[in-house]
């Protein structure tokens, strides 16, 4: 087998390897040398990590297992220091020498560091990798003042992230307006005003001179004699292609490593791609062209013919919540160009489209970027709009604007829709037609499209609409209630993108028709907000159903029930005695064993609830909540002669881990110790059945009115894996289902294959588990809180008539 060695383990390089493996998995023995001690991760999402919108785990693109599964030898944490092109070897800083038949440089860029006096002080950093991101997260805990030099894409995203970390942030920019490469002055001023509103200060037309301080940075002086204080200084003043090793090896280098249309350098068997490569005089600094280069090189090295790489047209979008900026192509004015400008000061919208010979040459949009994808596709197709230029923004005369069908039709199947993740139109259409995705969320789960910067979301939506057809549009876009025409996905996406943390904000920003909301949308919004922002969103008790507000099920005579948690249905004589004493003390009229293997004290007066819970001193069983209810278990191998595994311990572990979790609807689990299935695992939201040497996980089952047998999700070997899959499954359900949709309805709607696909990769399960763990860490027992907190206790005592009743919202039985 031929030996393929790649230097650089970043986004462009690994995407190329993925494509090569798809085309020809057995052609090469692959070795990757990567200087960073991490597997390949989504560098562009570092901005989201800094802004607190994603975790480090969320951004891993290829897990350590992925390399193993594909027989790739990865030397992570090692830097290639020399290449011997005559003997075809690469040597690393740790003395490892690897022989190659084909060598790929994918070394990316280095951040440009201004050579200012004092630039070596502690606290002066770039923003390029995980290490920089961690340094900033760490500094924000100890220091207050941050200065970012550079008002380009990176500098502004860094500044916004640091604001989210509660730092005081000033951006120093050399030009008199921001992002001068991507925006014109009008758009830049609007952007600046919006970012000032978000708390960022700007120092424009400033030329930095000296970094001052002791060991650590304390400030920055400018050539005009003024100064700025800083205990953290981030340089974001551009990048330069990382070409040192290639140059030393004698490979032709200009601004980047010079390559032809097939990514070949001037040296035999040596290729380059990504930010380190220079193609037809261009060195790219965005991911979309790098994926295109990767596809070409993969074909070349797999022995598949292609037309070669012809260069890319670029578009950018600033990834800052609440700011919509789009820029593409060349939007500068010249005697040969004509511009269409629209400015709406009332809504803060600005659009400029520049034409040359009737064709769209560039565009800048601020405030409303919905036309971005359309304009970008006109730029790429080169459509001639002579005499009808205004159609590009206002549609054809007669009021008919070009619909999504026209836009999507104009695209070829292999055109990349999602630049961040390299997803083509064909892949998205396939996810709709073959895998049954019916929402942008589901397409994201299936293909990753729209999962990073979100810039391609309107186009993904357009493809969805064009593919399912106008007749089904209403099904796709159904508003969550009569107060809004926004669908569930749109509401959740807005909550994420604009960092909305209260129902009031959602209703105001999304123009709710009824500003108070209704009994259908209020509990739903409260759930979605808590799901997206577990730490930031404060639970809105007034939006909860009456049972949830009272932390008890209201009975038909107005009394309540008390159901303590009995993990896995296993109790002790002491607990039973305490329950009996409490039942006697408060004269509970009925003590009943429930179907979920616990004890229900029925007929309790509301005023007795806090006292009873105090006396019981047991956790709430959440018998009233849209939450994990019970984990039913059989006796398993501890006592049953048929048992193959310890189902009781498994069930208790599951209940202890996932208790108190808010879910779109109630969730019931079960664990059986053998396929005789005494715990009825196959009619549960998630049921586990022990088999020889492992466990089977069944999902989306249901008892009650709509009985449905659960379907096999996966077979696993260990208890840890049961917990891992359960966590991932529950979190995926939490993030994807509509509020009040049971797992059985949800899984039927999106298809079990979609669920399986979303969970099949270990890194995806890990990311889901990281998010569920974050939520679980914050959950507290409601009764414990009411007992300990006088304020909550008075609020509970003051609760009177139901604000939202279950019947009003969904007619859900009080099980």
Residue 169 binds which entry of ligand FES, ligand NAD, ligand FAD, none, with Cβ cut-offs from 5 to 8 Å by kind? none
User: Which one among 156, 320, 453, 500 touches ligand FAD, defined by CB under 6 A?
Assistant: 453
- Nearest partner of 108 among 181, 34, 158, 38, judged by Cα: 34
Q: Is 516 in a helix, a strand, or coil?
A: coil
Binding span for ligand NAD by CB under 6 A among 145-153, 383-391, 636-644, 690-698: 145-153
Residue 78: CB partners within 8 Å, gap ≥ 6?
33, 34, 35, 92, 93, 94, 96
Q: Please list the residues that pair with 688 across neighbouring strands.
A: 671, 697
Nearest approach, Cβ of residue 109 and ligand FAD (Å): 6
Nearest approach, Cβ of residue 196 and ligand FES (Å): 26
673 binding ligand SF4? (CB under 6 A): yes
Residue 8 binds which entry of ligand NAD, ligand FAD, ligand FES, none, with Cβ cut-offs from 5 to 8 Å by kind? ligand FAD
If you ran DSSP here, which 8-state letter would residue 267 be given? Answer: S
Tokens coding 432: 């709709």
Tokens coding 623: 């018998």
Binding span for ligand SF4 by CB under 6 A among 24-32, 204-212, 560-568, 673-681: 673-681
Give the Cα separation of 217 and 319 in Å (integer). Answer: 28
Tokens coding 510: 């999304």
User: Which one among 6, 147, 149, 246 touches ligand NAD, defined by CB under 6 A?
Assistant: 149
Residue 274 binds which entry of ligand FAD, ligand FES, ligand SF4, none, with Cβ cut-offs from 5 to 8 Å by kind? ligand FAD
Q: Is 528 in a helix, a strand, or coil?
A: helix
CA neighbours closer than 13 Å in the CB half-sphere of residue 486: 20
688 binding ligand SF4? (CB under 6 A): no
Scan residues 37-56 and list those touching ligand FAD (CB under 6 A).
Answer: 43-44, 46-47
Nearest approach, Cβ of residue 319 and ligand NAD (Å): 5
13 binding ligand FAD? (CB under 6 A): yes
Tokens coding 141: 């805990």
- Angle of the 762-778 helix axis to the 719-736 helix axis, nearest 10: 80
Give the Cα separation of 38 and 128 in Å (integer). Answer: 14
User: Which one among 319, 352, 537, 771 touches ligand NAD, defined by CB under 6 A?
Assistant: 319
- Nearest partner of 527 among 559, 556, 492, judged by Cα: 492
Contact 155, 204 (CB under 8 A): no
Give backbone dihedrals phi and psi of 562, rounded to 5 degrees, phi first. Answer: -120, 120
Side by side, which strands form the sheet with 208-213?
208-213, 217-222, 227-229
Residue 289 binds which entry of ligand SF4, ligand FAD, ligand NAD, none, with Cβ cut-offs from 5 to 8 Å by kind? none
- For ligand FAD, the closer CB: 79 or 186: 79
Q: Please list the residues that pair with 325 across neighbouring strands.
A: 366
530 binding ligand FAD? (CB under 6 A): no
Q: Is 360 in a helix, a strand, or coil?
A: strand
588 binding ligand FAD? (CB under 6 A): no
Contact 699, 743 (CB under 8 A): yes
678 is in an annotated binding site: yes
172 binding ligand NAD? (CB under 6 A): yes
Side by side, which strands form the sheet with 349-356?
315-317, 325-329, 359-366, 349-356, 337-344
Scan residues 620-659 and list those touching ligand SF4 (CB under 6 A).
Answer: 634-636, 640, 642-643, 647
640 is in an annotated binding site: yes
Give the Cα separation of 741 and 746 in Å (integer). Answer: 6
Binding residues for siroheme: 678
- Would you tell me which residues interact with ligand NAD (CB under 6 A)? 114, 149-155, 157, 172-175, 180-181, 208, 236-239, 285-286, 316-319
Binding residues for [4Fe-4S] cluster: 634, 640, 674, 678
- Would you tell me which residues interact with ligand SF4 (CB under 6 A)? 634-636, 640, 642-643, 647, 672-674, 676-678
- Would you tell me which residues interact with ligand FAD (CB under 6 A)? 7-13, 33-36, 43-44, 46-47, 79-80, 106-109, 127-128, 154, 242, 245, 274-275, 285-288, 290, 319, 419, 453
Binding residues: 634, 640, 674, 678
- Would you tell me which residues interact with ligand FES (CB under 6 A)? 418-421, 449-456
């Amino acid at each position: 087998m031929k030996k393929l060695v790649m230097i650089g383990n970043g986004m462009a390089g690994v995407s190329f390897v993925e494509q090569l493996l798809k085309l020809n998995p057995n052609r090469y023995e692959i070795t990757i040398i990567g200087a960073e001690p991490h597997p390949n991760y989504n560098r562009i999402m570092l901005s989201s990590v800094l802004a607190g919108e994603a975790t480090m785990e969320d951004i891993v693109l290829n897990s350590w297992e992925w390399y193993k599964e594909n027989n790739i030898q990865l030397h992570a944490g090692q830097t290639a220091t020399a290449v011997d092109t005559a003997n075809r070897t690469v040597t690393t800083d740790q003395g490892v020498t690897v022989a190659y038949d084909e060598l790929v440089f994918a070394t990316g860029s280095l951040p440009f560091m201004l050579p200012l006096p004092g630039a070596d002080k502690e606290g002066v950093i770039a923003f390029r990798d995980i290490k920089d991101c961690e340094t900033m997260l760490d500094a924000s805990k100890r220091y207050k003042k941050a200065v970012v030099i550079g008002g380009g894409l990176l500098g502004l995203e860094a500044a916004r992230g640091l604001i989210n970390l509660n730092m005081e942030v000033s951006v120093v920019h050399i030009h008199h307006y921001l992002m001068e490469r991507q925006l014109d002055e009008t758009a830049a001023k609007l952007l600046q005003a919006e970012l000032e509103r978000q708390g960022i200060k700007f120092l424009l037309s400033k030329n930095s001179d000296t970094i001052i301080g002791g060991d650590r940075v304390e400030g920055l002086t400018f050539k005009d004699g003024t100064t700025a204080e800083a205990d953290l200084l981030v340089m974001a003043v551009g990048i330069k292609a990382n070409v040192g090793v290639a140059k030393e090896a004698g490979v032709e280098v200009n601004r980047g490593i010079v390559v032809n249309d097939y990514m070949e350098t001037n040296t035999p068997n040596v290729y380059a791609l990504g930010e380190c490569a220079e193609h037809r005089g261009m060195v790219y600094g965005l991911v979309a062209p790098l994926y295109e280069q990767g596809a070409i090189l993969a074909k070349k090295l797999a022995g598949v013919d292609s037309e070669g790489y012809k260069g890319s047209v670029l578009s950018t979008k600033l990834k800052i919540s609440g700011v919509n900026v789009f820029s593409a192509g060349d939007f500068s004015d010249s005697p040969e160009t004509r511009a269409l400008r629209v400015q709406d000061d009332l809504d803060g919208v600005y659009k400029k489209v520049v034409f040359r010979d009737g064709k769209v040459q560039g565009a800048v949009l601020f405030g409303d970027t919905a036309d971005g994808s359309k304009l970008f596709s006109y730029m790429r197709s080169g459509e001639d709009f002579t005499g009808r230029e205004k159609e590009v923004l206002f549609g054809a005369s007669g009021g008919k604007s070009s619909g999504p069908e026209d836009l999507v039709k104009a695209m070829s199947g292999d055109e990349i829709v999602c630049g961040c993740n390299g997803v083509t139109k064909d892949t998205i259409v396939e996810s709709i037609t073959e895998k049954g995705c019916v929402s942008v969320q589901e397409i994201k789960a299936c293909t990753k499209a729209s999962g990073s910067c979100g810039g391609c979301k309107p186009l993904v939506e357009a493809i969805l609409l064009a593919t399912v057809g106008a007749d089904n549009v209403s099904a796709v876009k159904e508003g969550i209630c009569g107060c809004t025409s926004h669908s569930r996905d749109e509401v959740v996406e807005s909550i994420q993108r604009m960092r909305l943390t209260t129902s009031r904000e959602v209703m105001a920003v999304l123009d709710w028709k009824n500003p108070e909301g209704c009994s259908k949308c209020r509990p739903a919004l409260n759930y979605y907000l808590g799901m997206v922002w577990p730490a930031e969103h404060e639970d809105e008790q007034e939006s909860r159903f009456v049972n949830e507000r009272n932390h008890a099920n209201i009975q038909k005579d107005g009394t309540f029930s008390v159901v303590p948690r009995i993990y896995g249905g296993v109790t002790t004589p002491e607990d039973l005695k305490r329950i009996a004493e409490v039942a006697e003390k408060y004269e509970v009229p009925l003590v009943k064993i429930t179907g979920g293997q616990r004890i229900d004290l029925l007929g309790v007066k509301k005023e007795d609830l806090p006292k009873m819970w105090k006396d019981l001193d047991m956790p709430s069983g959440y018998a009233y909540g849209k939450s994990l209810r019970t984990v039913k278990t059989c006796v398993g191998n501890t006592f049953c002669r048929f048992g193959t595994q310890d189902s009781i311990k498994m069930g208790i572990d599951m209940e202890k881990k996932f208790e108190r979790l808010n879910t779109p609807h109630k969730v019931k689990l079960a664990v059986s110790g053998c396929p005789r299935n005494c715990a009825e695992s196959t009619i549960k939201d998630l049921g586990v059945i022990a088999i020889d040497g492992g466990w089977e996980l069944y999902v989306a089952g249901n008892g009650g009115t709509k009985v449905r047998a659960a379907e096999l999700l996966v077979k696993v070997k260990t208890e840890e894996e049961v917990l891992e899959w359960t966590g991932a499954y529950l979190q995926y359900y939490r993030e994807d289902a509509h509020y009040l949709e049971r797992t059985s309805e949800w899984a039927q709607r999106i298809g079990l294959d979609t669920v399986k696909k979303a969970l099949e990769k270990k890194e995806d399960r890990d990311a889901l588990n990281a998010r569920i763990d974050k939520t679980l860490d914050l959950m507290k027992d409601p009764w414990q809180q009411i007992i300990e907190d006088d304020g909550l206790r008075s609020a509970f005592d003051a609760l009177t008539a139901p604000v939202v009743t279950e019947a009003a919202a969904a007619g859900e039985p009080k099980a």
